[in-house]
Amino acid sequence: DGEEWNPPEAKSKAPKVEKKSAPKRPAKPRAPKEPKAPPVPKNPKKSPSRAPHKLGARKDNPVKQERLSFNVSETNEPYKWADEGPSLTGFKTKKEEVEEEDFTFDEPCLKKLKASDGSPGQPTAFPSSQAQALRNELNMTWDLTQVLSTLTCVEQWVCRNIILLLREENTVPFMVRYRKEMINHMDADAVRDVQLTYEELCTLAKKTQSVIQTLKKDGVLTTELEQNLRSCRSADELDHVYSPYKKGSKLTKARRAKALGLEMAATALMNTPHTLDLRAWIKPDTEGLSCVEEVATGVEHILADMIAKDPETLTYVKTLCENSFVTIQSSVSKSQKPGTGQQNKIMDIDKFHLYFDFTCNVQRIQPHQTLAVNRGESLKILTVKVNIPDSVKSDFTGWCINNRWRPKTFAREEFHAIIRNAVEDSYKRLILPFLTRSYRTKLTAAAEKESIAMFVRNLRQRLLVCPVRGCVIMGVDPGFRHGCKLAILSATSQILHTDVVYLHASGKQNEADKLRHLMIKYSCTKVVIGNGTACRETESFFADLISKHFFHPLDVSYCITSEAGASIYSVSPEAVKEMPDLDPNVRSAVSIGRRVQDPLAELVKIDPKHIGIGTYQHDVSAGALKAALDGVVQECVSFVGVDINICSEMLMRHVAGLNVGRARKIAEWREQNGPFMNREQLKLVKGMGPKTYQQCAGFIRINPQTLHSAKSSHHSPTVVLEKSMAKKGKGKTCVSIPTSFNPLDQTCIHPESYHVAQSFVSLVGGSADQIGDVGLRCCVESKVKTSSVEVLAREVNTTPETLKVIIDGLTQPPGFDLRQNFGQADFKRGIVSMSDLRVGAVLTGRVDNTTLFGAFVDIGVGRSGLIHKSNITLDKLPVSQRRRSLALGPGERVEVRVMNVDPQRGRIGLDLIRVLK
């Protein structure tokens, strides 16, 4: 997708094209597709977030710093995406090769990395029957896994495994954590890329089959044409082959000429011009045939149509364009003439002032520029065109006349004139618009993909902000006329008190006293203020009181958090169900407070598009954006894990393997039967089949602390459990479900590896009941020091990767949360205003949002400053973060220098000094 629109064979054809003396048939250009070399050099044009680097530089996320012990070797390859289908035999032979390694979030794509020789995940003798089934499943002439490997630059055995895993209905989080060997240690983004590419190939195959059926019905399908159609590897190639046979074409001039019967004359002109006499086609009473000139014009139109639809001709002109300086240009639309009463329109137009006279090489234009130009054009503010050099036209015309469209035998000068006119007409009227559309489509697709990738990175980091636990918090939804809505939340996010105070009206002292009374009554020391209307004034109010020690003896601090989506959530059915007795405005204050207490649990309740991250969300494909964002939400929720006995139904929906219906059934079972004692009891829930259980079990926790508190408040009826168990076993082999607590259920170890974990615990001389204790941790760590993981893995008959995650599960402290490696909200006591800023001042701040053109940083002055991407250079970044396109994401702390301040426009320009850890 980072490549230009030209097909892979264009580069290899270019040098040969000039030397051809005889015209080639349209079927031939497909042949050069075989070489895989052309796509590889173009990889650097792909999204910079996928730029290949060595493994040592891949640490942009602290989640996985400690364990990178698998051996890999670097290859020079990039990335893409897959689908589901019926399960295939042979997949289960890999069942024991599971691994429960740690997982990655924002790490760069690792698909370039080949597994070390003899990796357990690599199939040494893949069943030929399965390989053949994959090759022929789409009924195309190419091998599915080979093409998928070429497009994504992922090794074929990995592509094959991903397809099989997806057909077995495995989710991406499950594959990334528990099938790491089979996917060659790829991260979630890389696996989703392969998944999407696979889905695109399946869609292409379906479309090809539909086209073949249509052509067969029309009676124009030949064996050669069907072969050409089944050889296509992209929608563009399919359109090339199919376009000459499309019905309802807009080329009305050619259709009119064909209706007059001039197609035979055009064919004779190219094949046997010495036999053609245009005067024989004259019909004085027929419009279009009344004289020789009209006949010649009709023949020109038919030839122009043939030239514009010929695959070899199109391939050649694309090759010429690729070797030329093609630019995209935007300017102010002529319709934009501001008059009176058009102030808002003038403001809209001013947003696009950078593109009033904008020209850029199509190979260098940035994704955000493409999206901005597209938006300006859709608003009729800008006029956009693609400029193709005149040299392309002259070279193309010469090649057509002297090579591809040269008559097979001698032709008179008037026939040569007809061909010249047809070539020029075809280029100007048909080919040039086609090239323009192709460029715009490809640029837009690439820009949309990078924009979505930016959304995904931002959302992941926003969801993984470290929760603020163990303290009472006051959430404040600021406002002027309707007052500031307050919600005081306990350390476990329970609503203790709600109120409304009017801090920006007369009687401020009374409101301040009321605040002090509430803060002291509930021992509240943290205030979270939403960043909406009246935010700055509310912040000033609290900062002033704190500076005067008004809340003494409490040490109160505050922070500002984004309230994007809070108002939408406050009136949603979920909010009404959760807080039925509260006013929607007060619900917003509750949501604002909970966003800091547990960002992940709160933000999953809101549509990711409304969280206020990324840019140009309304300019990209809504379906692709939703799929990508839903995928990253599922990834984050699953990898963090959920305590099944206290998590909300909303949070449960996003666990891998679960959905709305299954989450509701689990919540109902919990309500009727009390807390889950162990993971096995999930099998008693209606609709929880073996596959669903396999996918979700590793991401669900049974926390002993919450289990005991839940048991004390809800007596679990054993009779109901027994009935459910019997009902579950009806018609199946009835399996006894234990009702006792299993210590392994509080870890990230998957139930399928419990027997290995028990063996390992026995090997180190401990017991599962000691999980979380310092004693067991010391036993495990000393055993690993005296003997390598590889040796220990052989002793317990498992893989090193599986053993590593077991070691993690046994040594992590109780209540371990991987989000503790990420920064949490910054609480402060003072305030700085924009008027205090001076050029050259050095400040610290936290990244608010990352866009395609830079990063916005909250420096505590009420308005975020922008670090333009030109100021985010490699030398300013930690080595571990040099592989991402902008290397910064929401929540990261940075040190910046003020470059310029524009109070009128409210803009602050910043320069990055360094990233703070």
Residues 704-750: tens digit of each pLDDT: 887 777 666 655 444 444 444 444 444 444 557 888 888 899 888 99
pLDDT value of residue 358: 92
Tens of pLDDT, residue by residue over 184-238, are: 888 888 899 899 889 889 999 999 999 999 988 888 788 878 888 888 888 877 8
Split at pLDDT 50, 70, 90, the class of 48 is: very low
Contact yes or no for 291/282 (Cβ under 8 A): yes
pLDDT value of residue 848: 78
pLDDT value of residue 574: 86
- Three-state DSSP at 79 gives coil
> Tokens representing 407?
């008559």
pLDDT value of residue 35: 38
CA–CA separation, 353 and 381 (whole Å) = 10
Any alpha helices (H) in 179-272, and if so which ranges?
Answer: 188-218, 223-230, 235-242, 252-259, 263-271
Q: Which helix (H) or strand (E) holds 385?
A: strand 382-387
Q: Please determine, for residue 309, whether its predicted confidence score (pLDDT) is greater than 60.
A: yes
Burial of 545 (0-12, 13-18, 19+ CB in 10 A): buried
pLDDT value of residue 415: 87
Q: Please determine, for residue 288, whether its predicted confidence score (pLDDT) is greater than 90.
A: no
> Tokens representing 312?
């070899």
CB atoms inside a 10 Å sphere around CB 736:
8
User: What mean pLDDT is predicted for residues 285-310?
Assistant: 86
CA–CA separation, 400 and 18 (whole Å) = 11
Q: Please determine, for residue 859, whether its predicted confidence score (pLDDT) is greater than 70.
A: yes
Split at pLDDT 50, 70, 90, the class of 798 is: confident
Angle between helices 622-640 and 432-463 (to 10 degrees): 20
Split at pLDDT 50, 70, 90, the class of 692 is: very high
Q: Please determine, for residue 403, whether its predicted confidence score (pLDDT) is greater than 80.
A: yes
Give the Cα-Cα-Cα angle 416, 417, 420 (nearest 5 degrees). 85
Q: Please determine, for residue 568, whether its predicted confidence score (pLDDT) is greater than 70.
A: yes
CA–CA separation, 856 and 591 (whole Å) = 23
Residue with tokens 């639309």: 333
Closest CA to 131 of 141, 145, 114, 152: 145
pLDDT value of residue 565: 85
Split at pLDDT 50, 70, 90, the class of 44 is: very low
Burial of 883 (0-12, 13-18, 19+ CB in 10 A): buried
**Residues in a beta bridge with 73:** 114
CA–CA separation, 432 and 417 (whole Å) = 21
pLDDT value of residue 830: 63
> Tokens representing 616?
């140009």
User: What mean pLDDT is predicted for residues 144-154?
Assistant: 89
Split at pLDDT 50, 70, 90, the class of 135 is: low
Contact yes or no for 480/533 (Cβ under 8 A): yes
> Tokens representing 767?
């017991």
User: What mean pLDDT is predicted for residues 475-484?
Assistant: 89
Split at pLDDT 50, 70, 90, the class of 76 is: very low
E strands present in 30-74: 72-73
Tens of pLDDT, residue by residue over 746-789, are: 888 999 999 999 988 888 888 888 887 888 888 888 888 888 88
pLDDT value of residue 668: 92
CB atoms inside a 10 Å sphere around CB 482:
12
pLDDT value of residue 359: 93
Closest CA to 822 of 734, 889, 870, 898: 889
Q: Please determine, for residue 423, whether its predicted confidence score (pLDDT) is greater than 80.
A: yes
Residue with tokens 């807390």: 675
**Residues in a beta bridge with 828:** 558
Strand order in the sheet with 557-561: 495-501, 484-489, 473-477, 526-530, 557-561
Q: Please determine, for residue 797, whether its predicted confidence score (pLDDT) is greater than 90.
A: no
> For the chain, what is the total number of helices (H) and then of strands (E)?
34, 17
CA–CA separation, 895 and 913 (whole Å) = 5
- Reply yes or no: is the peptide bond before residue 553 cis, omega within 30 of 0: yes
Q: For the range 286-290, what are the long-range contacts, defined as Cβ-Cβ under 8 Å and sequence gap of 24 or more?
A: 286/260, 288/256, 288/257, 288/260, 289/260, 289/262
**Percentage with pLDDT > 70 across the chain:** 77
Tens of pLDDT, residue by residue over 641-681, are: 999 988 888 899 999 999 999 999 999 999 998 899 999 99
Q: Please determine, for residue 341, whether its predicted confidence score (pLDDT) is greater than 80.
A: no
CA–CA separation, 762 and 624 (whole Å) = 48
User: What mean pLDDT is predicted for residues 98-127?
Assistant: 39
- Three-state DSSP at 869 gives helix
Any alpha helices (H) in 127-187, and if so which ranges?
Answer: 128-136, 144-152, 156-167, 172-178
Q: Please determine, for residue 270, whether its predicted confidence score (pLDDT) is greater than 90.
A: no
CA–CA separation, 488 and 700 (whole Å) = 29
pLDDT value of residue 715: 52
359: phi > 0 → left, psi -120 to 50 → alpha, else beta; which? beta
Split at pLDDT 50, 70, 90, the class of 131 is: low
Q: Please determine, for residue 97, whether its predicted confidence score (pLDDT) is greater than 60.
A: no
Mean pLDDT of the chain: 77
User: What mean pLDDT is predicted for residues 281-310?
Assistant: 86
pLDDT value of residue 66: 33
Closest CA to 100 of 757, 600, 654, 653: 757
Q: Please determine, for residue 457, whether its predicted confidence score (pLDDT) is greater than 80.
A: yes
Cα Rg, the chain, nearest whole Å: 33
356-383 as b/e: b if 16+ CB within 10 A: eebebebeebebbbbbbbbbbbeeebbe
CA–CA separation, 131 and 575 (whole Å) = 50
> Tokens representing 372?
């901005």
Q: Please determine, for residue 550, whether its predicted confidence score (pLDDT) is greater than 70.
A: yes
Closest CA to 574 of 606, 529, 533: 606
- Three-state DSSP at 752 gives helix
